Structure 1
């Protein structure tokens, strides 16, 4: 798959910068959950499983709206879909205010679900867009650059909330979140306007409009998106990856609180630092020095090491090994997308919608983690990551090569 856009690399600079802002917005919106989880846990006096439902609500939107998002992109284009997503975000964030005023977990879940809808439509737009915006062989390089913007935003969200509120998490009242959310709503509406007015060219993958299969002979013989085993295995790998990445990014404040560490929100930086190191390596090394599939294998080994060590070392040190899990996760997203989307031709948009639906792993796997935490303790709950990383390793070794 290659871009039909014939502009040189310089012409990509403005679109890549704007899309980088979009990836930052995705990370910021998801990072809000890492602040809300311990806040709801203490303010509403609910269990870990119940407080982690805000993550489940956010990510469940991907399951329901992943495919409709691809249909909307087909109708109105990538750019207009990006603008629409920010309007959805603003509605979701506004609903957090009455949720706090009424101390209602149910309303928080509705607000999280609607912001998750915004995230679904934005991810469905920006991920295939940045994959197509240039040669497929260097897609992981572009995704790595996007990943830096995305993952730096995760810890900035709880830090922003903490700075505006000006209190320790365990001292915060639910209504204290009203002011920061009003600011966030304003910023996201401005980003929506930027998306609408930005000079973003509409792009298509090679063979996307080619019914005769001249540009992509492999896809020409297929009648359904379900006939691409490398895509379907990639969807499962992405499902597992999003789940374990969300655990590594979204549980740090909660885990630090559980361990009784002071200024728990500062521990939110552990995972993003590991991820940014990985993304920098990806931007520098792919594809010149290492291939996308080799990067995936190396990262799977690193993540396995981090998840095993998080479980077995003394708990006061275990939180720091989550950085290795995160480092391993760093190049999984940039590698999985182009490996799974290769040679889809006219099924590119359908394949992309399946990949977006797979993001629901961020709802199910962290919820299972929270249940394990309630029963076996926080440290032991990280065991759930090990089988997930083992499957991702299999995909990097063999799964992405399977063709029929």
Structure 2
């Protein structure tokens, strides 16, 4: 069963833009919703470290559980989308997202860290459906040569969700109560457990509200007519052949590698920014440190709009390479100067991370057919597992050598992205100013 409107001939890209205003708005809203979920994790790492007395490595498992959900469900999402429709995949993704959010309530009641990790895994499984669906859909809503610009523009709304997530955490999850190890040791066992339980339960109401909003959004999308975006899909049995063709395309494979390292860098920097600030600027309260993270996300959003404008004049691969080189330098500064200069360098890196995900995504999908694009999208989304692996690696490095040395991991990531940009630029022509 297809959820899109049945048509015998797929509409042209221009007619899609003209006749699908409401679906386009709803699609863009998805970028907001998963941005909020992703960056609430940055708050949860600090919150759970406090509520469960975790090491940096253990706290980093928040991202590991989350991005494992992306990895496991990305290919099933692509196959589901190909078998049914973009719309069906979006609805299923939203329902999984809401289910995971609702699981935060029993996890907090039980005060069990593993249950929180399970809830995050379920949320991420839903986001895998949303990202696998929305990213390729945006690339086909217009001329192929403008795919990178359109995706950057749509992704510009993602940081709005990210900022919202941080503000929710800053004002509705963080209590502002931060006991030292000495304070905790001086408490009675009952008082200490009451403190842990209170910090754990702080996440309940925000996630219940988020779950309710996501369910309502799923209903709204279910009631909205979506136009067909292509002719009927190929039989499902041909999927293995499509995967084989994709894995023989060099740029596509390199895009998967680059996306793995990009997501690892982005998630790692944001996950440990509060930790880095409190280590480099001793005495900074958690709520004040969260302001730096909010500023980072504002810069990230500004960078999306600036990057979209620059793509009128620079080839996507060249812009990607310039921004990767700048971030390689900024992360190196954060390693070498773990004080205020390092903090400012890490905050500034968000401005230049802004175009990386959508540009790598668009470069990887460039020149692919409709079915290749759908399944290729799932493989690129699988590379988001970099957020799980590399964030845990940063936590391990931090535990052994200090949080500033952990920033060497994203520095290496940006070196890989620079290499990808160099190889991709060899086959990409300069854009024509004014083209969409």
Q: Judge same fold: TM > 0.5, yes or no.
A: yes
Pick the aligned partner of 1:143 from 139, 146, 151. Answer: 151
Q: Which residue does the alignment assign to 2:343?
A: 319
Q: Which residue does the alignment assign to 1:386?
A: 411
Pick the aligned partner of 1:252 from 256, 268, 273. Answer: 273
> Which deviates further from its counterpart, 277-286 or 165-174?
165-174
CA distance in 1 between counterparts of 2:233 and 2:418 reads 30
Structure 1 position 223, deviation (Å):
5.7
Q: Which residue does the alignment assign to 1:62?
A: 70
SS of 1:243's partner is: helix
Q: Which residue does the alignment assign to 1:283?
A: 308
Structure 1 position 11, deviation (Å):
4.1
* Structure 2 portions without partners, runs of 5+: 1-10, 180-197, 236-240, 429-436
Structure 1 position 34, deviation (Å):
0.9
Q: Which residue does the alignment assign to 1:227?
A: 248
CA 1:196–1:289: 2 relative to 1, 3 Å: same
Residue-pair matches, total: 391
Pick the aligned partner of 2:61 from 53, 78, 81. Answer: 53
Structure 1 position 222, deviation (Å):
10
Structure 1 position 244, deviation (Å):
0.5
CA contact 1:208–1:348 (8 Å) conserved in 2: no
CA distance in 1 between counterparts of 2:173 and 2:348 reads 31
Q: Which residue does the alignment assign to 1:44?
A: 52
Q: Which residue does the alignment assign to 2:362?
A: 338
CA contact 2:138–2:150 (8 Å) conserved in 1: yes
Structure 1 position 162, deviation (Å):
3.3
Q: Which residue does the alignment assign to 2:120?
A: 112
Structure 1 position 122, deviation (Å):
0.7
CA distance in 2 between counterparts of 1:160 and 1:146 reads 23
Taking the TM superposition and a 5 Å limit, the aligned residue runs for 1:2-401 are 4-7=12-15, 9-11=17-19, 13-165=21-173, 167-168=175-176, 170=178, 173-204=199-230, 224-258=245-279, 259=281, 260-262=283-285, 263-286=288-311, 288-345=312-369, 346-399=371-424, 401=426
SS of 1:173's partner is: helix
CA contact 1:58–1:113 (8 Å) conserved in 2: yes
CA 1:252–1:13: 2 relative to 1, 3 Å: farther
Structure 1 position 75, deviation (Å):
2.0
CA distance in 2 between counterparts of 1:252 and 1:379 reads 10
CA 1:29–1:334: 2 relative to 1, 3 Å: same
CA contact 2:315–2:425 (8 Å) conserved in 1: no
CA contact 2:28–2:157 (8 Å) conserved in 1: yes
CA contact 1:230–1:402 (8 Å) conserved in 2: no
CA distance in 2 between counterparts of 1:146 and 1:31 reads 18
CA distance in 1 between counterparts of 2:243 and 2:261 reads 27
Query: Which protein has the larger Cα radius of gyration, Structure 1 or Structure 2?
Result: 2
Structure 1 position 261, deviation (Å):
1.4
Structure 1 position 150, deviation (Å):
0.8
